[in-house]
Amino acid sequence: MSQDLAQKTAFITGASSGIGLATARAFAAQGARLILAARRQDRLDAERSTLTGAADVHTLALDVTDHAAVERAVAALPQEWQAIDILINNAGLSRGLDKVYEGKRQDWEEMIDTNVKGLLYVTRAVVPGMVKRGQGHVVNIGSTAGRMTYPNGAVYCATKAAERSITEGLREDLLGTPLRVTTIDPGMVETEFSEVRFRGDKQRAAKIYENITPLTPDDVADAILYAVTRPAHVNISEVLLTPVAQANSLLFHRTSKDQAK
């Protein structure tokens, strides 16, 4: 039997937009209790009304790159929110599209601090409680970029390859416990991702999705929902999903402007 999410507590990072917000809405529809974390508290507050069906919602402003802040936030959760059943490590970003030898140090540090260190900090703060309680599911959001490096994206791809290795290692470390560990690796998804990558350049970001039908955040949320609702003895180790028009990190089929109309 599939598992029921009603009254289960899910902690979602990067929950103010994109895949994180779509996952929060999908879990809410199943009656879950939601701990939603993001840097933008105002965005979290503005989206509360869209979380139809949630048993309860607790929001907190959190920068996952700050290890002390992560530890404080998890330790300071109200008693009724401390038993986290599902952790969705979604917070992540890309910066720039440069050759390695021309890359900007600030871009590298932001990607490594968020995608690798942030993933580790939140995992380290939450998973011991799951082990102690003897139940839990960790879902890390990876990428096709972690499976194949593409030109001008080496550092971002490296951070997602690191996510893949950390996920595999965590699964090995938890062997013998009832905990489950999953990586969800999407290809092209239309979110604020490209705007963040190009620091708000909407025109440049729009070209990424030109003449192609990408995945939506809801598509990825649906895959996450599938993974976490499998029977307790079933672990979906990894899910790789792409648009039909994407073969891998390098190959895409873009229609002409006339065909796209």
Active site residues: 156
Which CA distances in Å does 259 have to 24, 216, 251, 255?
35, 21, 19, 6
Q: Are 248 and 144 in contact, with CB atoms under 8 Å apart? A: yes
233 φ/ψ sector (left φ>0, alpha ψ -120 to 50, else beta): alpha
Long-range Cβ pairs for the range 14-18 (8 Å, 24+): 14/38, 14/64, 14/90, 14/91, 14/92, 15/44, 15/59, 15/90, 16/40, 16/43, 16/44, 16/47, 17/43, 17/191, 17/192, 18/189, 18/191, 18/192, 18/193, 18/217
